[in-house]
Amino acid sequence: MKVPFLDLSRPHRELRSEILAAFAETYDAGRFCLGADVTAFEAEFAAASGATSAVGVANGTAALHAVARALNLGPGDDVIVPAFTFIASAWTASYVGAKPVFCDVDPVTFNATAETIAAAITPQTKAIVVVHLFGQAADMDPILALGRERDLPVIEDCAQAHLATYHGRPVGTMGVAGTFSFYPTKNLGGVGEGGAVISQDEGLLDQVRLLRVHGSNVRYQHDAIGYNYRMEGLQAAALRVKLKHLERYTAGRRKIAARYRDGITLADTILPQPAPWGDSVYHQFTLLHPRREALREHLAAHDIGTDLIYPRALHQQPCYADVGPAEGALPVAEKTARNCLSLPIFPELTDAEIDHVITTINAF
Ligand SMILES: *Cc1c(COP(=O)(O)O)cnc(C)c1O
């Protein structure tokens, strides 16, 4: 039996007629860049995310960049970023000329903590980026307390954490702003690029709205140096269809995670555990194993797709060689990058496929 790491053709086949019908409407009305579909999606996504409003943008990276600009981060500023995450979290700092200061992560949640963040604060620190990695909310209360104490805004990168909660509070609503990605592989994925910003601060959202259309609210008057970060109408139309299924998709991911946790008994394996403040939405199910390359080859030999997410911590990336810190300084992030292995966890996996993954791992 062949088990792909990810198979997007399954949900897309299932929703084909519904999404194409939505496309036809948007196409016939010519609502291509922003417009009524985007406005409707923004309202529906805000409601689903526990926010009062959302601003749709071109992608999740644009969302982070626009928030960094709205917070006036720039050259001379340090921005704390977890060392174990997708590179775009660090672009939040780099795109505006600020410096990402990488902090270590927790060995259980793989997320930054108040302690690891506090250890990275410098006199130049102006903001904290928290990532709810793999769908697991970070331990926010101590981080928010630290942010208040040091007067540092906390940006929540929720690109992997749609519908995740922390003690019942939705991710993205606790810090100054939350950013989302709708890249096709994310828990809520479009059929192309997309992103959004949520915030309780309408002034900040107005800034994002300004920046996404060339810094202009009045035709050919440009109040800020902005971008073309508009969300596409066709993407919003597809996302409105997919959003209706997101709770079901999330429940599906959680069920698979529980089955992996119950079924995998391989020695020396560390499996993701639900945090006391709320279970993950399992964008990834990432285990740690000291011989992950051999385990990966064993799974590949049995036709099971896996991925290394992520094989390098950010301070180990060539583009940040001059930023540091040196190898060894962030031991948990480095060890996680060495030992992590992500298993298939998309909602359409069949019971037989899940069993094949479990049996094959246990036979290693
Ligand atoms: C995907 C992702 C992003 C960037 O989103 P794009 O839509 O691909 O630009 C940012 N941060 C994290 C943690 C991500 O996983």
Instruction: Kindly report the average pLDDT of the chain as a whole number.
Output: 98
Q: Are residues 236 and 260 in the same domain?
A: no
CATH code, domain with 199: 3.40.640.10
Q: What is the pLDDT of residue 254?
A: 98
Contact 283, 161 (CB under 8 A): yes
Residues 165 and 257 in one domain: no
Q: How many domains does the chain have?
A: 2
Whether residues 78 and 141 share a domain: the answer is: yes
My answer on whether 224 and 89 are in the same domain is: yes
CA of 356 to the centre of ligand 1 (A): 30
Which of the listed residues 210, 243, 276 is the one where a domain comes to its end? 243
CA distance 154 to 144: 7
In the reported structure, the alpha carbon of residue 60 is separated from the centroid of ligand 1 by a whole-number distance in angstroms of 5
Residues of the chain with pLDDT under 50: none
Specify the pairing of strand 154-157 against strand 125-131. parallel
Cα(5)–Cα(3) distance, rounded to whole angstroms?
7
Residue 25 lies in a domain: yes
Looking at the fold, whether 220 and 260 belong to one and the same domain comes out as no
Q: Do 214 and 256 belong to one domain?
A: no
Residue 229's closest CA among 5, 108, 358, 68? 68
Q: Residues 217, 78: contact at Cβ < 8 Å?
A: no
pLDDT at site 169: 98
- Residues 316, 218: contact at Cβ < 8 Å? no
Q: Which runs of consecutive H residues, i.e. helices, occur in the chain?
A: 9-14, 16-29, 36-48, 60-70, 88-94, 114-118, 140-150, 202-212, 233-243, 246-263, 292-301, 331-339, 351-362
In a shared domain, residues 87 and 236: yes
- The pLDDT value recorded for residue 228 is 98
> Which of 243, 269, 291 is a domain's end point?
243
- Give the largest CA-CA distance in the chain: 65
**Of 364, 134, 143, which is closest to residue 264 (Cα–Cα)?**
364
Residues 6+ apart with CB under 8 A from 134: 110, 160, 272, 280, 282, 283, 284, 285, 286, 309
Residue whose Cα lies nearest atom 14 of ligand 1: it is: 159
Give the pLDDT of residue 358.
Answer: 98
In the chain the first and final C-alpha atoms are separated, in Å, by 17
Last residue of a domain, one of 243, 272, 307: 243
Active site residues: 186
- Ligand 1 binding pocket (C-beta < 6 A) is 59-61, 85-86, 88-89, 131, 157, 159-160, 181, 183, 195
What is the structure's pLDDT at 338? 98
pLDDT given at position 82: 98
How long a stretch of residues is the chain? 364
User: Residue 85 CA: which ligand 1 atom is closest?
Assistant: 13
CATH number of domain containing 263: 3.90.1150.10
Which domain covers residue 76, as residue numbers? 9-243
- Please check whether residue 1 lies inside any domain of the structure: no
Q: Are residues 346 and 198 in the same domain?
A: no
Q: Are residues 14 and 102 in the same domain?
A: yes
81 and 218 together in one domain? yes
State the closest ligand 1 atom to the C-alpha of 183, by its place in the atom list counted from 1.
7
